[in-house]
Chains A and B, each alone.
Chain A
Amino acid sequence: AQSVTQPDIHITVSEGASLELRCNYSYGATPYLFWYVQSPGQGLQLLLKYFSGDTLVQGIKGFEAEFKRSQSSFNLRKPSVHWSDAAEYFCAVAPTGGGNKLTFGTGTQLKVEL
């Protein structure tokens, strides 16, 4: 069965510092890959997605992610974090062969220090 691992439960960074959130997946083939962000008490907002092609994908709010097939990873990065980026971040996968079910990682809580 597919699974998604986000090794870091909590991460704290200073405003203006760079950020990298880790995501590893276990899947029979390369799935569709996503990063979502969730503010407290809110739904999920899509930051970016990878379906195929260029392994470095750009998203909203200055985020990017790099797909590395050899490492089964899809890490999220941002060069300079803003205080408003404090939120919960979820990595998710979905099968490419059909079906829309998403499997989520456990999430990483990002705290930004001013």
Chain B
Amino acid sequence: GAVVSQHPSWVICKSGTSVKIECRSLDFQATTMFWYRQFPKQSLMLMATSNEGSKATYEQGVEKDKFLINHASLTLSTLTVTSAHPEDSSFYICSAGGNQPQHFGDGTRLSIL
């Protein structure tokens, strides 16, 4: 079946650095991918919709300059957390799929020290 791969699964970095997270659709093409953020013991909150070949659409309250999204190919979307700070520590999950249901990656645990 369709698989979405997310990398890295876990990253720890110092405050002020930038971190890139990749989301790949392994056996299908995805013109649209989604990025979610999940705080401990909470639900998934949609951050942005990644559109292949065009700008991402961000949800209200999400800083586009803080969370840079690039969807340069039909199988890859990247989320870059720029100048990361401890409050950006969270679990980030991507999903992809032309139609429902969406297929989810295994998530990236980001810890900023």
Q: Which residues of A contact B (CB under 8 A)?
A: 32, 34, 36, 41-46, 49, 51, 90, 94, 100-107, 109
B→A interface (CB under 8 Å): 4, 6, 32, 34, 41-46, 49, 91, 93, 95, 97-107, 109
A102 touches B46 (CB 8 A): yes
Q: Given A100-B32, A106-B43, does the pair A34, B107 have CB atoms closer than 8 Å?
A: no
* B100/A43 in contact, CB under 8 A: no
User: Which residue of chain B lies nearest to A48 when distances are taken between CB atoms in the complex?
Assistant: B101
A selection of 7 A-B contacts at a CB cut-off of 8 Å is A34-B100, A44-B95, A46-B103, A51-B100, A100-B97, A102-B44, A106-B42
Knowing A43-B104, A43-B106, A94-B100 are in contact, say whether A101-B43 is a contact too (CB < 8 A): no
A101 — nearest CB in chain B belongs to which residue?
B46
CB nearest to A109 among chain B residues? B41
CA distance A100 to B48 in the complex (A): 12
Q: Are B101 and A107 in contact (CB under 8 A)?
A: no
Docked CA distance A65–B27 (Å) = 29
Of all chain B residues, the one with the shortest Cβ separation from A98 is: B99
Per the bound structure, the CA–CA distance linking A49 and B100 in Å amounts to: 9
In the complex the two chains form, is A41's CB within 8 Å of B95's CB?
Answer: no
Q: What is the bound-complex CA distance between A36 and B49, given in angstroms?
A: 20
Q: Top 10 A-B pairs ranked by shortest CB distance? A: A43-B106, A44-B104, A43-B104, A104-B43, A106-B43, A43-B107, A104-B44, A46-B101, A107-B43, A32-B100
- Whole-angstrom distance between the Cβ of A102 and the nearest chain B Cβ: 6
